[in-house]
Chains A and B, each alone.
Chain A
Amino acid sequence: MRNDTPALVKRITALSLITILLIGFFLAFKEMPKGSAVNVNQRVSRLYVMKNVETATKMMENGKFFAKGIKPLRTDVPYTPITFGKSKNLEDGAANVVTSIVVDYRGFDTLGEVTVLFLAATGVAMLLFGKEKKRKNKTEPSLIMYVGTRISFAIIFLFGIYIFVHGHLTPGGGFPGGAVIASGILGLFLGKNGYKPNHLGLKVFESLSGMAFVIIGLTGLFSVHSFLANFLPTGVIGDLYSAGFIGLIYIAIGMKVGAELSAVVNSMIVDVEEEWS
């Protein structure tokens, strides 16, 4: 469409485009399979397809859970469905599959990821921290920002802690929780000129939480004879105190990531030993 195209042509084209989009949307919506017609047996985690697990269990016992003409994958093992709030002592008590893979089965990989983040933060600090940055035009943030960031920081911090404490129950975990905490600290930086966090405290906190991760892994090594193996009871699925050591590791990761990203924000923003003008 050029600029000299008459307006009527433009409008007709836009109208036809919208019509095509609407028709396509409704066709796609109509083509979606209904819940009873989905071939659940082809999915990887067929237990998590239906949110209401008790109903799913009843349907499976009645033989209605699978579409007609489909046999279950395994018939040699007696099938015991998992129910939230009831099933105990599973192999891994996490309520979602991703968490149990990321932290439990591939916990060593996660340790490597945390190390990568640590290296990145160290590199940023080496490049930026302590450099003299001349900044003019620095105005004091308004009172609204000052008060608002101070109030919302508490809520953001609490939300970050909620995310990484419930890492084994809900989507989320240590990395998003830490990022949320660091964004709250970024708000504090924006709210007041010359805000300085305790840099040494951040470093110590980060090192301690990193050490906690390794110590949990070593405890697994000494008690179950494998590094980062689960040495705690898995409990009832869906409870807060369940899934063994996943909660502990996520708490360590969350604190570490939060401290690291806060240090990155600190070294990016703060001008050290410079007078504010």
Chain B
Amino acid sequence: MLDAFLGWLGVVFVFTGVFFLFLGALGIFRLPDVFNRLQAGTKATTLGVVSTSIGVGLIAKGWILFAVALAIFLLMTNPISSHAIARASYRVGVKKYPQTDPDECEKREWKFPEGGEEK
């Protein structure tokens, strides 16, 4: 009984993850500039992969430890790498979508060193 319940819960998790992965791919395809695409790719794939791996861990008994380890590792590295990419691309001066309204990084007090300035 419990096994069957856990199995179906795992199936629900896997399909949630698949849905969010699909949303991430769609966002990368549809969104206008680098930063929006990075946001779509990172957020959606983080939730998608974590949910999928947890679901697989629930379906196949004995894999839950690996699944949780994988999820923790992804939660740790995926946002950091995306942050680094976004920061580097802002610094180099990648053009942003003109309708980006609240650009907090423009109001910063510090400056990037000369040569690497955007514009």
Given A148-B80, A151-B76, A155-B76, decide whether A136 and B115 contact each other with a Cβ distance below 8 A: yes
Q: Is B87 at the interface (CB under 8 A from chain A)?
A: yes
Question: A138 an interface residue at 8 Å Cβ cutoff?
Answer: yes
Contact A137 B76 (CB under 8 A): no
Q: Does A36 contact B (CB under 8 A)?
A: no
Find the B residue at minimum CB distance from A148.
Answer: B80
Judge if A45 is at the interface, Cβ distance under 8 Å.
no
Contact A145 B113, beta carbon cutoff 8 Å? no
Q: Are B113 and A152 closer than 8 Å at their CB atoms?
A: no
Counting residue pairs across A and B whose Cβ atoms lie within 8 Å, the total is: 37
Tell whether, in the assembled complex, residue A138 and residue B113 are in contact, meaning their CB atoms are under 8 Å apart: yes
B32 at the interface (CB under 8 A from A): no
Cβ A148 vs Cβ B76 within 8 A = yes
Chain B 90-115: CB-based contact to A (< 8 A → 1; otherwise 0): 01000000000000000000001111
Residues of B within 8 A of A (CB): 73, 76-77, 80, 83-84, 87, 91, 112-116
Q: What are 27 of the A-B contact pairs (CB < 8 Å)?
A: A136-B114, A136-B115, A137-B112, A137-B113, A137-B115, A137-B116, A138-B113, A139-B112, A141-B84, A142-B83, A142-B87, A144-B80, A144-B83, A145-B80, A145-B83, A148-B76, A148-B77, A148-B80, A149-B80, A151-B76, A152-B73, A152-B76, A152-B77, A155-B73, A155-B76, A190-B84, A277-B113
A residues contacting B by CB (< 8 A) are 136-139, 141-142, 144-145, 148-149, 151-152, 155, 190, 277
